[in-house]
């Protein structure tokens, strides 16, 4: 075997290894969605929830985040963010959606906070969210059926029953 053919085989093996490692380093679609934190809260409480945006749309910067508020939510008060314009859509006193408009580069993450007065009943609430990146958008609006995994899941919050003797949370 000549030196040149050994070099070619070695180079192909190294290139394959590097390509494989690069694919592993990329975030998977399942891990790259918008999430609500915390994921659980107590029924009837005032609870701040942050919606974490971990990336843009492809290589484009995020320019807007629109979060729909579940009808069961007693109240929703967004936190202003420097450099972002805030829009609140209402029906009377009820908040229907909250939109932040600004710019979040694709290689950065950020959090968008809302203070909620949670419903008194336990259950799981979904927050359909649209992430706009210039002319592109990603709709994180899918609500999975039991046992399914959505490709573009809406952020969710599990409301747990208030435990006996637990004092109501009053963080507003």
Range 119-132 burial, b when 16+ CB lie within 10 A, else e: beeeeebbbbbbbb
Burial class (CB within 10 angstroms; exposed 0-12, middle 13-18, buried 19+) of 118: buried
In this prediction, residues 80-91 reach a mean pLDDT of 97
Q: Do 36 and 51 touch, CB atoms closer than 8 A?
A: yes
Q: What pLDDT is stored for residue 52 in this prediction? A: 97
Q: What pLDDT is stored for residue 57 in this prediction? A: 87
Q: What pLDDT is stored for residue 27 in this prediction? A: 36
Q: What pLDDT is stored for residue 1 in this prediction? A: 53
CA dihedral of 95, 109, 134, 65, whole degrees rounded to 10? -10
Q: Find the helix or strand (DSSP H, E) in which 50 lies.
A: strand 46-53
In this prediction, residues 61-85 reach a mean pLDDT of 96
Is the pLDDT assigned to residue 145 strictly greater than 80?
yes
In this prediction, residues 143-169 reach a mean pLDDT of 84
Residue with the bigger pLDDT between 6 and 112: it is 112
Q: What pLDDT is stored for residue 10 in this prediction? A: 46
Lowest mean pLDDT among 21-35, 75-89, 97-111: 21-35
Q: What pLDDT is stored for residue 125 in this prediction? A: 97
Burial class (CB within 10 angstroms; exposed 0-12, middle 13-18, buried 19+) of 115: middle
Domains of the chain, CATH where assigned: 29-160 (2.60.40.2230)
């Amino acid at each position: 075997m000549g030196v040149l053919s050994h070099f070619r085989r070695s180079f192909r093996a190294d290139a394959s290894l590097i390509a494989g490692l690069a694919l592993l380093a990329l975030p998977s679609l399942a891990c790259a969605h918008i999430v609500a934190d915390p994921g659980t809260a107590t029924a009837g409480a005032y609870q701040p929830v942050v919606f974490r945006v971990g990336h843009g749309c492809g290589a484009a910067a995020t320019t807007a985040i629109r979060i729909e508020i579940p009808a069961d939510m007693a109240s929703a008060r967004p936190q202003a963010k420097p450099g972002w314009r805030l829009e609140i859509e209402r029906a009377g006193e009820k908040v229907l959606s909250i939109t932040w408009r600004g710019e979040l580069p694709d290689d950065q993450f950020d959090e968008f906070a809302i203070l909620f007065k949670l419903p008194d009943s336990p259950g799981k609430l979904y927050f359909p969210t649209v992430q706009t990146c210039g002319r592109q958008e990603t709709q994180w609006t899918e609500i999975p059926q039991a046992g399914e995994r959505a490709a573009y899941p809406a952020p969710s919050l599990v409301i747990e029953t208030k435990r006996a003797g637990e004092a109501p949370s009053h963080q507003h």
